Amino acid sequence: MELKKTLDDIDEKFFEKIAKDEADQEVIRARGNNFMEADEGASPVKQESAAYKVVIINFAEGDYTVTNMNSNAVHNFKVEAGGILTSDLVNGTV
């Protein structure tokens, strides 16, 4: 029982540090749950959240182009081995 209380306290303190409000907590939890539930044979796109639309996409290595439907801005990026995302706007892991 003490372990559960300790874990609950850690969870609460974690969200106090990173989440702005309860809706933000829900989005973060949904992302974490999607990540933990993902498996190799699953659909590459998952959506779960009442407050926000959370989409997780597993990209294969290659070159991609994304168009922002609101501004018609076009963004090109590349996914390299190991999930490294590169573009003129961002550099990091996905």
pLDDT digits (tens, 9 = 90+) for 43-67: 555 555 556 666 677 788 889 888 8
Domain that holds residue 53: 1-58
Is the domain of 35 the same as that of 65?
A: no
51 and 87, same domain (yes or no)? no
Together in a domain, 37 and 11:
yes
Residues 2 and 14 in one domain: yes
Judge if 9 and 39 occupy the same domain: yes
pLDDT 10s digits, 5-27: 898 888 888 878 887 888 888 88
Task: Look at residue 51 in the predicted model and tell me its pLDDT.
Answer: 60
Rg of the chain's alpha carbons, rounded to an integer?
17
Same structural domain, 39 and 76: no
Predicted confidence at residue 40, as pLDDT, reads: 45
Q: Residues with Cβ < 8 Å from 27, sequence gap 6 or more?
A: 49, 51, 52, 54
- Whether 52 and 91 map to the same domain: the answer is no
75 within 8 A of 89, measured Cβ to Cβ: yes
69 and 45 part of one domain: no
Which two tokens mark 82?
Answer: 């190991």
| Confidence band for 77, pLDDT divided at 50, 70 and 90 | confident
Q: What total of structural domains would you count in the chain?
A: 2
Q: Are residues 67 and 89 in the same domain?
A: yes
